[in-house]
């Protein structure tokens, strides 16, 4: 079960369910035991109907800094990366690990226009972006060994991150029912 006290993960789960992507939220409180020790669990497993299954680590960040700019903060811990890499290896070729960055901001004074990409949840606007683990690892830099944290340079991150929706190929429209001849001629 996902940590629903973490508003980023709760918003992520609500968004995934709203677009009807089959998912499993894992119990992060318990680590899986393997022959060489405990392994951090991913946050979610997603099963898009028309794409690769995803092992997801959700990282919540503030969308804008004090000046109203988007800093594209994207740091993670090395423990996050190690866990994702090992789960992807264990699940095999039908799975791909991604880092999902959830950016939250207060709702604007005026309602958001439809289609601006934000998902409203519990009084905030959330935007969901993701990058593949392989791309992230290939371009990371250390934020300091004491923190065991790494990040991509902002420019490299902006070039490689994609809206989460692009990672979830699904049939979005309900097939239209053919109109019987009797109804057409009315």
CATH of the domain at 113: 3.40.1350.10
- The neighbour count for residue 161, using CB atoms within 10 Å, is 19
pTM over 0.85: no
Can you give the pLDDT at residue 165?
93
User: What span, in angstroms and rounded, lies between the C-alpha atoms of 136 and 143?
Assistant: 14
User: What span, in angstroms and rounded, lies between the C-alpha atoms of 83 and 39?
Assistant: 6
Q: Is residue 84 part of a domain?
A: yes
Are 99 and 129 in contact, with CB atoms under 8 Å apart?
no
Q: Is residue 119 part of a domain?
A: yes
Q: Is residue 1 part of a domain?
A: no
Q: Is residue 2 part of a domain?
A: no
User: What span, in angstroms and rounded, lies between the C-alpha atoms of 43 and 49?
Assistant: 19
Domain that includes residue 55, residue range:
7-184
The total number of structural domains in the chain stands at 1
Q: Is residue 146 part of a domain?
A: yes
Which element (helix H / strand E) includes 103?
strand 95-106
Can you give the pLDDT at residue 133?
97
Can you give the pLDDT at residue 64?
66
Can you give the pLDDT at residue 170?
72
Distance of alpha carbon 62 from its chain centroid, rounded?
Answer: 15
**pLDDT tens per residue, the chain (186 residues)?**
455 788 999 999 999 999 999 999 987 655 565 566 678 889 999 999 888 999 999 999 877 666 666 678 899 999 999 999 999 999 999 999 999 999 998 887 776 666 667 899 998 989 999 999 999 999 998 887 777 899 998 889 999 999 999 999 875 544 444 555 554 445
User: What span, in angstroms and rounded, lies between the C-alpha atoms of 118 and 125?
Assistant: 6
Can you give the pLDDT at residue 109?
77
Can you give the pLDDT at residue 54?
97
């Amino acid at each position: 079960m996902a940590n629903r006290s973490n508003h980023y993960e709760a918003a992520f789960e609500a968004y995934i369910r709203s677009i009807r992507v089959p998912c499993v939220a894992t119990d992060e409180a318990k680590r899986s035991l393997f022959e060489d020790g405990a392994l951090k669990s991913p946050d979610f497993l997603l099963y898009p109907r028309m794409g690769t299954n995803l092992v997801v680590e959700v990282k919540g960040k503030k969308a804008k800094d004090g000046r109203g700019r988007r800093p594209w903060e994207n740091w993670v811990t090395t423990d996050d990366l190690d866990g994702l890499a090992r789960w992807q290896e264990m699940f095999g070729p039908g799975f791909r690990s991604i880092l999902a960055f959830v950016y939250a901001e207060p709702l604007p004074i005026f309602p958001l226009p439809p289609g601006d990409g934000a998902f409203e949840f519990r009084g905030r606007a959330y935007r969901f972006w993701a990058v593949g683990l392989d791309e992230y690892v290939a371009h990371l830099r250390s934020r300091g060994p004491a923190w065991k944290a790494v990040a991509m340079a902002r420019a490299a991150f902006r070039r490689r991150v994609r809206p989460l929706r692009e990672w979830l190929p699904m049939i979005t429209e309900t097939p239209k029912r053919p109109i019987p001849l009797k109804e057409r001629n009315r």
